[in-house]
Amino acid sequence: MSDTAIDLISLGVTLVGLVISWGVYRRRGAASGMRGAALSLVPLAAAMTGVTEFFVDLAFSPVKWAGVGVAGLAVLLYLTSGAMLSRRAGGDGGKAVAGGRSAAGGAGEPKAAGRGARPKGQVGGAQPSGDPELAEIEKILRDRGIS
């Protein structure tokens, strides 16, 4: 697409957006109208800075799409390798016995997920916080039986 066509389309979208923003201003107030005006100016700013031309070239170029695919593959490989490294550094090296029992032996009881052993139905263990709002929330949760 030519630069003139991109500029005219961006200007048209901006003008339509500003007209809609004026209506929003009249109906919902200044804050909503200003937000709409700000969003309406984005297409014109993108055209003036050349960002729109980049995206138009990207949309119609198979070579650039291939580059996006290669970048995606690189990100996928990086994230996968990070997950593999974090599993290796997990401590037990994947030698834990099924059922949550420790590989070293021990008492042979299954581990509770981050909680101490408590009788069923007993609520507690949370230390009261210094924040009065959090204390109130904790009290409401205790009253409803949620720990």
Contacts of 7 (CB under 8 A, 6+ apart): 47
- Which structure tokens are listed for 114? 């981050």
Mean pLDDT by 10 residues, the chain (147 residues): 85 95 94 94 91 83 87 93 85 51 50 53 57 87 86
Report the candidate in 54, 35, 51, 32 with the shortest Cα–Cα distance to residue 43: 51
> How confident is the model at residue 95, as a pLDDT?
53
> How confident is the model at residue 120, as a pLDDT?
58
Q: Is 22 exposed, middle or buried (0-12, 13-18, 19+ CB in 10 A)?
A: middle
> How confident is the model at residue 86, as a pLDDT?
86
Domain ranges, ordered by start, for the chain: 3-86
- For residue 125, give Cα distances in angstroms to 8, 109, 114, 121, 142: 65, 21, 11, 13, 11
- What is the pTM for the complete model shown? 0.43
Measure CA of the first residue to CA of the last residue in the chain; give whole Å.
61
